[in-house]
Amino acid sequence: MAEIFNILLSIMVLFFILLIIKEIFWKIIKKDFCAICASVSLTWIGLLVLYWSNLFNNTVILALLIGESIVGTFYLVEAKVRKEFTLFRLPFLLTLIVIGYSLIEIPSDLRKIIIFIIILWMIFIFAHLYRNNGSISSFIKKIVECCRRW
């Protein structure tokens, strides 16, 4: 139990440190960043290094924190891409999941996963190229609208 408390405490401390750094150095760095996202990311990166060094073994909290960064990355990219590229949400998210999982453990069926991801990207690229085709456009519209913010 103390382990999760220490991790939560670390995230909170990092949050306030990054918030102060952001406030003091904003004019110098001229880049805005999310202190919460950075705190979580720095925490799981540190824990991942400890995990790879066999000094930390709680893969549950590590996976949760990496998962938070995956979703944060997904939403950040989604907000920055042009509307016609929102079609690629599924292959992008699945690619991020595979990358996040592979940081903790290399899947035994990695070759099959890579082939699957490549085929999925190819299907979505093909759909994107032919998105104005009458028979495909309504299906593509349904894919894009599936994640619409209600």
In this structure, the number of other CB atoms found within 10 A of the CB of residue 2 comes to: 7
Least confident of 13-17, 109-113, 138-142, 144-148: 144-148
| Residue range 65-119, pLDDT digits in tens | 999 999 999 988 888 887 767 888 899 999 999 999 999 999 999 999 999 999 9
Please give the pLDDT value at position 61.
Answer: 95
Which among 91, 103, 38, 100 has a CA at the least distance from the CA of 67?
100
* pLDDT band at 137; cut points 50, 70, 90: confident
Most confident of 10-19, 74-83, 125-134: 10-19
| Chain CA centroid to CA 149, Å | 19
Half-sphere exposure of residue 4, counting CA atoms within 13 Å on the CB side?
7
pLDDT > 50? residue 150: no
Which has the closest alpha carbon to 96: 69, 78, 123? 69
Contact criterion met (CB below 8 Å) for 40 and 65: yes
Q: With the C-alpha atoms ordered 138, 141, 145, 146, is the resulting torsion angle positive or negative?
A: positive
pLDDT value of residue 127: 84
Q: Is the pTM of this model over 0.85?
A: no
Residue with tokens 């999982």: 101
Does 122 have pLDDT greater than 90?
yes
Token pair listed for 46: 């540190």
Give the per-residue pLDDT at 23. Answer: 84
